Chain A
Amino acid sequence: MTDNINSTKFEPVLLGRLGRPNSASLASYQADGGYSALRKALTMTQTQIVDLVKDSGLRGRGGAGFPTGLKWSFLPQNISGPIYMCINGDESEPGTFNNRILIEEDPHQVLEGIVIGSYATRATTAYFYLRYEYGRCYRTLQKAVDEMYAAGLLGKNILGSDYSLDIHLHRGACAYICGEETGLIESLEGKRAWPRIKPPFPAVEGAFRRPTVVNNVETMACVTHIVNRGAEWFKSIGVPKDPSNPRDAGSYGPKLYCISGHVNKPGLVELPLGVTARELIDQHAGGVWKGRKAKAVVPGGISMGFMSADELDTPLDFAGPGRVGCLGLGTAAVVVIDDHTSMVDVLYNCCRFFAHESCGQCTPCREGTAWSTKILERMRAGRGKIGDIDLLLEISGSIGTMPGTTICGLADGAAWPIKNAIQKFRPELEEYIRSGRKAEAPQLAGAH
């Protein structure tokens, strides 16, 4: 599925091998210099690799943007017993498909990063948690892992070193919440994926009550290149730290942007962090479709909320979306909504998604997501009330925008689209309610 890779002047790194014949095979990967990073890493100490990744400024690509090296350094030192590496391949955030393409097209790049990361964290078992829907990824990965075992890149004494690692693929079963790292761990353990309370954090007590690191697929691909090319190379790409903000960790490195929705050419593009939404749409996705204008843009998966048409020059780095009231960069999955689309329909779709995917553990999220969906259903049936808007805003505050209301971030993600839609599109919502009109889109089953 390489036809959706949009061309760019930036020399792609993560997508650099796409389009090569048999790009997913070990032979082709090694012909392109694959596993040189692993060879190099195995000559380094664990601390050197952790420091290298810290120095690179790499932040997790899964949505939260937590510095990867720092996460690794939280593991307790000098402990006995197993440490686990979990790879979060439960990519389910609406609008996001970069892991799918990475895995299908160049799995060894990811797997090499996993071995390096596991080595750096002293993990001896890595669980690759893959969403069930990615059947082709599963088969590609299984083949790649088999090839690695055969080539001595996995198993006992990798490449003759004294480091040993097993990677097990673990398939999900259609639940968005498994993308939350402790939900993933619970699911891996064979339970309902109810996220855990923290502390203890996974680094201290994670999978099977052992120290665990959970990392995203794209993040691990980045690790491969950082080891190959160095921290300085990685830091030369993207947006540096804001010196006036001591809490800003910068936005370094290349990023896979997913573009979908109302554009002429939906697809995946690799660009330095910090590209604007406008540039993505106009230069990398063929512009808004049917000659229309964008009304709203989701900056990084629907959890992040919406940017309005006049916020499109916002750089899509870790800090940018927050500056225009969005939750963050998320997965950098940009969904473009044209000006012929009703924000009520869009918001309903988002609310319904979160009601369907709320794990049901915390009261505010379980009840609030279902309630907000019901309110929007009623609005779409022409029976909305003006007061519903403030009620929705209040619900969103109580489920997620007020920090601490729930165990995990799903509720924040459920709250932000509501909050942004009301902040940025209130007149449209009010007009919709006053008109008493009904939604044109087909009325299907609700949240469940």
Chain B
Amino acid sequence: MLQTKEAAVIATAKVNDIEVDIGPRENAIQVARKAGVEIPHYCWHEALSVVASCRMCLIEVGETKPDGTIAMGGKLVPACQTPVKHGMVIKTETAKVVTAQAMTLEFLLLNHPLDCSICDQAGECYLQDYTFKFGKAKSRLNEPKIQRIDKYHIGEQIALFTDRCVMCTRCVRFTREISGTAELQVVARGSVEEIDVFPGMPCNNKLAGNVVDLCPVGALCSKDFLYKKRVWWLKSQKSVCPGCSTGCSIEVDQNDNQVYRLRPRANPLAQGHFMCDEGRFGFRYIQDARRLRTPILKTSSTQSPTAESKMNGQQVVSLNGNGQAHSETAKNGVSDLAVIDPWPTVIAAARDKIRSAIKINPSDFAAVLSPMMSVEEAYLLAAYLKGLDARVRLLLGPIPTFGVDDRYPKSASGSAPPSDKAKFTIRAEKCPNRMGVEMILRHFQGASVPFEQATAGSTDIKAWYFVGGYSQGWVTEKIAKAVSHPTLLIVQDIFPSPLSMHADIVLASAAFTEREGSYVNYAGLAQAFQVATRPIGDARADGRILYELTERRGLFNAAVVRKEISEVIPAFRRFASGDLGLNGVRLIDPKETYS
């Protein structure tokens, strides 16, 4: 056993004379990467079956004989189809390889239009990149190019620029192997073949957007992103999709503080390579005009204000925001505040009100922590309130759940695979961090009590601190009713709601791209997400709000808070370095520990 292990550890191969360790089931493309050598390829993709048809990755291989001499195979082989064995010699720069690469590129470009100037893919196009690195400057085609008709009908979210296609068939394989929906197909044969859908059956499955990412050229484009922004203006930030408890690793691409697109980031510990369209296109709420843009402090002293007067009262201090926040009602005698940052006043007021409410009766005070919160945010709030008085109640906010887990690949009849055969799952639980927030709640009060449970009968809670952060309306009539006559109502949220309308204090908080922190997904994987955009208007990242509310020193820094959490809560001991890496860190299975 030990010997086998050792042998596995020392298995090596040589890539252009660079010796690298090899793992099991690695192909020559993957091994070459370790040596810093790029083997160009189009059709191969780690998550899809190997077809070896683009012939871009042709290399030469040989083996090291026992006497140390090297015997080369003499013919070209596709790197994607070459499992690397111990002692293998991979050569990617021989005359044969260089010729084959240049010719394959020339072939692929024969009928390719020269429309890079208007092509969305320009700047992240493997035809451009490989041509620059491995190709020829000029085509020798003297004949007219084959012209093909663009297919905007291919999907609600997808357009096919047919003549840019290199027929790598990644998209077809994706719909057959991953989504299982099999909408895409190859039609015809030889040089006139094309990608298409069956007439009248566009590619609209819930994972369809992935074919755009998979397309190595500008053939499949996202209609949502089409012609919106040249990709070289985009800045990317590593993030985690908050759309469901799968917690797909993603990239947030923004420019000038506007999110243009989300893309999946491969993470073997999380979702794999893909993301669903719900998540992919679900970022628009971040820039929604209805967002809360400024904190609100009700200054009216009326004890039982009418809705109208409360509204007015609110708007008295909804100052300084931009645009509509400067409403006429701001003239109510306090317009001189308009140039002053409202946050210190609002936060100080919130702190005072919380303290005095807890002083009156701590068990009447409840904070409702949303599963949209990060671990760090939940920790800051929970630790603070429990620190004020252990009898303060912490509740778990509503868990948005829709239907059942949606597993792929689907069968021809549309049925889902068993969960152990699933290649992708869109989870019914439409929030990113129930598990993380529950871990915090369990630590501070031994159990995670859902809001609904605490308010099922008549409730004695009179003072409330609500955290929202949901991308869509979450305050149901039931919730609003449960909070009907509060002595104190503080709402930290991103959208106005029946609660915020009646709140004494509204803390305009931030969407996920405007914050940093970590989420714990359904499987107990904690992943970090970074700030990609500034909060809208005068809204503030929740971490900063809580840092100031709880009178911590310095600026909110998720990694620093994670270190602290690791010391306080054993279940988070893997947070010790503060760094969760690109793929995240698996916490001790929380299910085992707590339930």
Residues of A within 8 A of B (CB): 175, 192, 194, 197, 355-364, 366-371, 374-375, 377-378, 385, 388, 391, 394-395, 398, 402-407, 447-448
Contact = CB atoms under 8 A, between A and B. Distances in A.
B189 interface: yes
B103 A358 contact: no
28 contacts: A197-B50, A197-B78, A356-B190, A360-B188, A362-B55, A363-B54, A363-B55, A363-B56, A363-B107, A363-B108, A364-B104, A366-B167, A366-B190, A370-B146, A370-B191, A371-B110, A371-B141, A388-B142, A391-B140, A398-B99, A398-B104, A402-B99, A403-B75, A404-B58, A405-B55, A447-B190, A447-B191, A448-B192
A364 B74 contact: no
B52 interface: yes
A378 B143 CA distance: 8
B166 A363 contact: yes
Contacts of B76: 402-405
B107 A359 contact: no
B193 interface: yes
Interface residues of B, number: 37
Given A358-B191, A364-B103, A366-B190, A378 B53 contact: no
Contacts of B103: 364, 394-395, 398
Given A192-B186, A398-B100, A364 B55 contact: yes
Given A359-B189, A448-B192, A405 B58 contact: yes
Nearest to A388: B142
A197 B51 contact: yes
A77 B112 CA distance: 49
B143 A363 contact: no
Contacts of A194: 53
A244 to B, nearest CB: 22
Contacts of B74: 403
Given A175-B189, A447-B190, A368 B107 contact: yes
B96 interface: yes
A369 B190 CA distance: 9
The 10 lowest CB-CB distance pairs between A and B, nearest first, are A404-B76, A367-B107, A370-B191, A403-B75, A398-B103, A404-B75, A374-B143, A360-B193, A358-B190, A360-B190
Contacts of A448: 190-192
A448 B187 CA distance: 14
Interface string B144-171: 0010000000000000000000110000
Interface in B84-139: 96, 99-100, 103-104, 107-108, 110-111
B189 A360 contact: yes
A371 B107 contact: yes
B100 A360 contact: no
B100 A405 contact: yes
Nearest to A195: B53
B191 to A, nearest CB: 4
A355 B190 contact: yes
Nearest to B103: A398
Given A362-B53, A367-B111, A402-B100, 7 more contacts: A175-B189, A355-B191, A356-B190, A361-B51, A378-B143, A394-B103, A448-B192
A162 B154 CA distance: 55
A71 to B, nearest CB: 21
B77 interface: yes
B81 interface: yes
Nearest to B81: A197
Residue from A359, A371, A406 having most chain B Cβ neighbours under 10 A: A371
A407 B78 CA distance: 9
Contacts of A407: 52-53
Interface string B45-73: 00000111111101000000000000000
Contacts of A394: 103
A318 B403 CA distance: 66
Contacts of A359: 189-190
A360 B140 contact: no
Contacts of A378: 142-143
Contacts of A364: 55, 103-104, 107
A406 B191 contact: no
Contacts of B110: 367, 371
B190 A357 contact: yes
A360 B77 CA distance: 19
A248 B344 CA distance: 91
Contacts of A377: 143
Contacts of B141: 371, 374
Given A197-B52, A358-B189, A362-B53, A367 B58 contact: no
Contacts of B58: 404-405
Contacts of A366: 107, 167, 190-191, 193
A363 B104 CA distance: 7
A363 B191 contact: no
Contacts of A369: 190-191
A402 B96 contact: yes
Nearest to A377: B143
B53 A375 contact: no
Nearest to B193: A360
Contacts of B50: 197
B190 A406 contact: no
Contact of A363 (B53, B77, B140): B53
B59 to A, nearest CB: 10
B156 to A, nearest CB: 27
A360 B81 CA distance: 19
A355 to B, nearest CB: 6
A360 B78 CA distance: 17
Contacts of B189: 175, 192, 358-360
Contact of A404 (B53, B54, B77, B143): B77
Given A375-B142, A407-B52, A370 B81 contact: no
Of residues A357, A361, A371, A385, which shows the largest number of chain B Cβ atoms within 10 Å of its Cβ?
A361
